[in-house]
Amino acid sequence: MPMETLRIARNIAAFACAAALSLSLAACGSHNESGSAGAAPDISDTSGGVAATVNGTDIGENAVSSYVANFRNLNSLNEDTDWAQWMVDNGYTAEDLRKEVINYYVSQELVRQAAEQNNVKVDEDAVDEQLNTMKMNYDSDGDGSLNADETASWNKALQAVGIASEDEYRTLLEMYSLEASLQKAVVPDTAPSDEDMLQYAQMYATAYDGAKKSSHILFASDDQATAQEVLDKINSGELDFAEAAKQYSTDTASAADGGNVGWDVLNSFVKEYTDALSGLGEGEVSGLVTSEYGIHIIKCTQVFKTPEEVTSVDQIPSEWLDSIKASLQQANKTSAYKAWFKDFYDSADITVNDMPEGLPYDVDLTGYTPAAGSPAASTSAGAPGSASSNDAAAADTSGNGGSASTGGASASSAAEQPSETAAK
C-alpha cells in the first residue's frame, strides 16, 4: 500500500478533530440518547423556538439543545448530577453553553452566506475523493470496498474523534471545502517579503544543522532475495542507486524520482528508517532495513551543515525554501481571511434571543464546587471560553472575539495541521 495512504490513516484523528471540532462541545459528534450514531442537529427546526437569527435565517432552539444533549450522551453526562459537576468543573453556566453553541452555528451560517454571495460552491468531487481516500484506509483486503468488519472499524474510528457517522463526516468535509474555497475567493495570494523569507531561512539553518536528505528502494517483505541482490550490485558499482529505485522499488511515488523521499526534518519516517538513516553519512548506503512497509535500502544523499552566517536564502536547500514560502503564504492568507471574515461578521444582522426557561441542560448548580485539578479550580488554567483559553483561539472563524471553543478551529484551519509526509 502506498505510503501516502498509510500516512492518511495515521492522521485521520487529527484531521477529523480539526475539521469537526469548532467548539469544545463539538467533540461529542452526533449521537442519539442510546449512544448510537444519529443525525446532526437541524438548525432550521424552530418548533422549539428561535435561538438566534442571522441575516433573516433562523437558528432553532432545538438544535442548541440537541447539540448539548449529544455532548452529554457521548461523555456519560446524562445524569443531571454528573452534568452539573462537569459544568462547574469547566466554569460553565447554561447561558455560557448556549451562547457558545449559538456562536458556532452563527459562524457556520455566515460562512454559507458569504460563500453564496461570492458564488463559491462545494467541490463535491474533491469531497468524494477525500472521503473515499480516508475510508479506503480500512479496506484491509484492498478490494475497493468495505465489508461488515471493515465498515465497523471505519465507523469506530470516526466516532472515536467525535464524528457520529460517515454522513456527518461528509458534511464536515463539505464545510471545510466551502470555507477553503471562500478563502481563495476573497483573499488574494501574496508573496512573502524577502525579509520574512530570510528570517525564516536563518531559523531553519540554525535548527536543522545535520539534517539529512535520503532516497530509498522498497521491496516486499517476502522479497529479501531480490533486495539482497540489488544491494550487492549497488555496493559493487554495477547498479546505480537511482536507477535501481526506478526499476525495483514498490514505492512508485518516490521511485519515479530515483527513490528520493526528501529531508528528514520536513518529513516523518518510521523508526526503523530513522534509525538506519541516522547512522549514514553523505553518500553512504544502508544494509537491508525491515519495517512494517517492507524491506528498504536507504541512501543518504545530502547532509546539511549550518553556515557560520546566513545572509541569503540560497544558503539553505530549495525544498526548505518551498516549505517556508508555503507556510508564510498560508499564514498571510489565514490572517487576511480572519480580518475579512470579522468585517463580514460585524456587518451581519445577528439577533440572539433570551434563553428560555426549562431547557434540559439548565440544571441547578447550587452546592457544587470545582473538583481539585479541574480547569475552574485553577486560576491559571481558565475554563473553556475564559480569557486564558481564548488566547489559544488563533483561528477563531467568527472573528468576533469569541472563545477558543466558539468556532476556534474553523474548517480552513484543518489545512494547517502538521502531517507526516515521509518515506515508509
Tell me the per-residue pLDDT of 170-190, one tens digit each, with 9 for 90 and over: 988 999 999 999 999 999 888
**Phi/psi of residue 189, each to 5°?**
-70, 135
pLDDT of 408 over the 80 cut: no
pLDDT over 90 at 272, yes or no = yes
Among the residues of 191-223, which ranges form H helices?
Answer: 194-207
Fold of the CATH domain 22-191+321-369: Triger factor/SurA peptide-binding fold (1.10.4030)
> Residue 46: pLDDT band by 50, 70, 90 thresholds?
very high
Identify the three-state secondary structure at position 301. Answer: strand
Q: What is the pLDDT of residue 116?
A: 96
The residue ranking higher by pLDDT, 354 or 9, is: 354
Average pLDDT over residues 233-259: 97
| Mean pLDDT value across residues 154-164 | 84
Q: Is residue 236 within 8 Å of 219, Cβ to Cβ?
A: no
As a whole number of angstroms, the distance between CA 302 and CA 281 comes to 8
Burial of 315 (0-12, 13-18, 19+ CB in 10 A): middle
- State how far the Cα of 51 lies from the Cα of 292, in Å rounded to an integer: 52
- For residue 354, the model assigns a pLDDT of 97
The confidence band for 5, taking pLDDT boundaries of 50, 70 and 90, is: very low
CATH architecture of the domain with residue range 210-304: Roll (3.10)
Q: What is the mean pLDDT of residues 29-44?
A: 54
Q: Predicted confidence band at 275 (pLDDT cuts at 50, 70, 90)?
A: very high
Whether residue 276 has pLDDT greater than 50: yes
Please say whether the beta carbons of 215 and 265 come within 8 A.
no
**pLDDT greater than 60 at residue 129:** yes
Element (H, E) at 127: helix 124-135
pLDDT band at residue 39 using 50, 70 and 90 as cut-offs: low
What is the phi-psi region of residue 331: left when phi exceeds 0, alpha when psi lies from -120 to 50, beta otherwise?
A: alpha
Place 249 in a pLDDT band, splitting at 50, 70 and 90: very high
Q: Within the chain, which residue ranges are assigned CATH 3.10.50.40?
A: 210-304
- pLDDT surpasses 60 at 379: no
**Confidence check: pLDDT of 16 > 70:** no
Percentage of the residues of the chain whose pLDDT score is greater than 70 = 80
Confidence of residue 253 (pLDDT cuts 50, 70, 90): very high
Angle formed at CA 223 by CA 222 and CA 224, multiple of 5 degrees: 100
Q: How far apart are CA 166 and CA 181, in angstroms?
A: 22
User: Structure pTM?
Assistant: 0.66
Distance of CA 106 to CAs 52, 103, 244, 338, Å? 8, 5, 57, 15
Beta carbons of 290 and 271 less than 8 angstroms apart = no
Average pLDDT over residues 255-281: 96
**Are the CB atoms for 298 and 214 separated by under 8 Å?**
yes
Cα 272 to Cα 292: distance, rounded to the nearest angstrom: 9
Residues spanned by CATH 1.10.4030 within the chain? 22-191+321-369
Which of residues 141 and 86 earns the better pLDDT score? 86
Instruction: Work out the average pLDDT over 357-384.
Output: 82
Is it the case that residue 308 has pLDDT exceeding 70? yes
C-alpha cell at 69: 444533549
C-beta of residue 10 within 8 angstroms of C-beta of residue 424 = no
Instruction: List, in order, residues 6 or more apart from 215 with CB less than 8 Å away.
Output: 241, 242, 245, 254, 258, 259, 260, 261, 298, 299, 301
Residue with grid cell 536507504, as numbered in its chain:
298
User: Rounded to whole angstroms, how far apart are CA atoms 111 and 105?
Assistant: 10
Between 40 and 229, the higher pLDDT residue: 229
pLDDT at 32 over 80: no
